[in-house]
Chains A and B, each alone.
Chain A
Amino acid sequence: MSAYNFAYLDEQTKRMIRRAILKGLAVPGYQVPFASREMPMPYGWGTGGVQVSAATLTPEDRLKVIDQGADDTTNAVSIRKFFENTAGVETTEDTSQATIIQTRHRIPEAKLTEDQILVYQVPIPEPLRFLEPRETETRKMHSLEEYGLMHVKLYEDISQHGAISTSYAYPVRVSGRYVMDPSPIPKFDNPKLEMDAIQLFGAGREQRIYAVPPHTKVVSLDFEDYPFEATKADHCCDLCGAEDSYLDEVIMDDAGNRMFVCSDTDYCRSRREAGHIGPMGAEDAA
């Protein structure tokens, strides 16, 4: 694939993106504007994450791409193929083997290390957007740390549902300063945002990059009398029996039968390979 520059983007563009990434790492949680490029895929398919990955990849890297935790969905497969074609890098489904993981809507279950980079695809980077439509005003609110509005959103949740019903894209405060949208990950994943790996967030259509450096304090917003809770389905994985992983609910038929399976396919596979079996796992093995 010599027709393309390494990882599709030209070197100037990658430098521009790297500068935005470095600025993002220097100011954790701050949304850095960048000149997002047209990518050979539609907005909403991960153009922001792809540009960040492209600027971060080196020929020695091993890339993993997941979509909702799965390596084998259309979006994940397409992006993995894209970089196989344009960068010629090795790819893997094994979380521990990957050096760069691009993700949509999940953080892998396995603990990430200081040698890894997690790249998030972000649809709407501005956590204040739903309450304050003016970009000029939200920028000012960030710069002046006027975050009362974030709690108004949580207040509305409790007053309408009796509990904080926000279950994904749950807002966090990074390093005691910026309030950040962690992208639409389930709030179950929020505690994992304090990790050893570098986390980079790319929003292509909105032209924003932000970052959380390793070992950074990330606090989920809440009320004293309604503390944050990382919730998941009250079940274990029907395939591997895991009690601690985030589960997808799968409808089996039109008679109401369903099963719960790990959303992180690599985690589930590795557990089953290690001999763990869930309530419906035997059938699967048979």
Chain B
Amino acid sequence: MTPLLQVKGIKKHYGMRIGCADVSFDLYPGEVMGIVGESGSGKSTLLNCLAGHLPPDAGQVIFDTRVDGPADTVTMSEPERRMLGRTDWAFVHQHARDGLRMSVSAGGNIGERLMAVGDRHYGQIRDRAIDWLGRVEIDESRVDDRPTAFSGGMQQRLQIARNLVTGPRLVFMDEPTGGLDVSVQARLLDLLRGLVREMGLSAIIVTHDLAVVRLLADRLMVMKDGHVVEGGLTDQVLDDPQHAYTQLLVSSVLQV
């Protein structure tokens, strides 16, 4: 089986400071990988390098494209990379307002990616927007409301619908449940799990919440000071951490 994503030796420095260094891994179709670490550990830098938002100083991010097979997204042309960003890739921001157009209706938000890839039939676009609202548990009657009129949890679900409508194969998520109430988080996690399974999505989820990765991620990468200190099966890393930092991280979680 060809990995969907092959990351080789990604490095990013901010002047003298290390953003992330020597990160390599393969992600297979259908796999969900969590990246955990404390603030400043380089996990968001890494995610942005992988998603093409930041140019890495060195390394390759090889994505198995539908048409041409494996291609390095770091060196591919910007139009190609942006096209991936609208079709096979999706990016779910921590703050929904970074990923949504707040002045555009829910239906328009979901429809944007469809129109961006050439859909020109209003009725069909709207039907698909309504279908996706249902899938993220937002009532159809809200299709013409703006996200400003939505709760935080609804905004986040709308952002997910907007991203998944074109059937991407790889989703990058940056703290997708951060800033939400615990009960809302649970609902979102359940929704994400269902969608990941139904659509056979691969995902890379950056979070500092170990409970989130335990429920969502198949495997885990632990980062500290820009380096990956440990990786493996999620429950194995959490229940039998090998590295000193991971042990500290796991033992620091409050038990409820």
Contact = CB atoms under 8 A, between A and B. Distances in A.
A148 B125 CA distance: 12
Nearest to A151: B115
B121 A155 contact: no
Given A148-B112, A148-B115, A155 B120 contact: no
Contact of A155 (B82, B103, B111): B111
B15 interface: no
B122 A152 contact: no
Contact of A225 (B113, B114, B121): B121
A67 to B, nearest CB: 31
Contact of B125 (A131, A146, A155): A155
Main secondary structure of the interface of B (DSSP, over half): helix
Among B108, B126, B143, B144, residue most surrounded by chain A Cβ atoms (within 10 Å): B108
Interface string A148-170: 11011001101110000000000
Among A144, A151, A225, residue most surrounded by chain B Cβ atoms (within 10 Å): A151
Contacts of A224: 120-122
A222 B121 CA distance: 9
Nearest to A150: B115
Interface in A10-47: none
A152 B143 contact: no
A180 to B, nearest CB: 18
B82 A144 contact: yes
A4 interface: no
Interface residues of A, number: 17
Given A146-B116, A149-B112, A160-B144, A155 B101 contact: no
B107 interface: yes
A131 B122 contact: no
B131 to A, nearest CB: 16
Contacts of A160: 105, 144
B79 A155 contact: no
A158 B105 CA distance: 11
**Interface size class of chain B, counting residues whose CB lies under 8 Å from the partner chain:** 20 to 34
A226 B115 contact: no
A40 to B, nearest CB: 38
A129 to B, nearest CB: 12
A226 B103 CA distance: 22
Contacts of B125: 155
B84 interface: no
A151 B113 CA distance: 11
B123 interface: yes
Interface in B94-132: 101, 103-105, 107-108, 111-117, 120-123, 125-126
A144 B80 CA distance: 9
Contact of A144 (B78, B105, B115, B144): B78
Given A146-B116, A149-B112, A159 B123 contact: no
Contact of A152 (B108, B117, B121): B108
A152 B112 contact: yes
Given A146-B116, A159-B126, A223-B121, A152 B79 contact: no
B122 A155 contact: yes
Interface of A: 131, 144, 146, 148-149, 151-152, 155-156, 158-160, 222-226
23 contacts: A131-B104, A144-B78, A146-B82, A148-B114, A148-B115, A149-B115, A151-B115, A152-B108, A152-B111, A155-B122, A155-B126, A156-B104, A156-B108, A159-B107, A159-B126, A159-B144, A223-B120, A223-B121, A223-B122, A224-B120, A224-B121, A225-B121, A226-B122
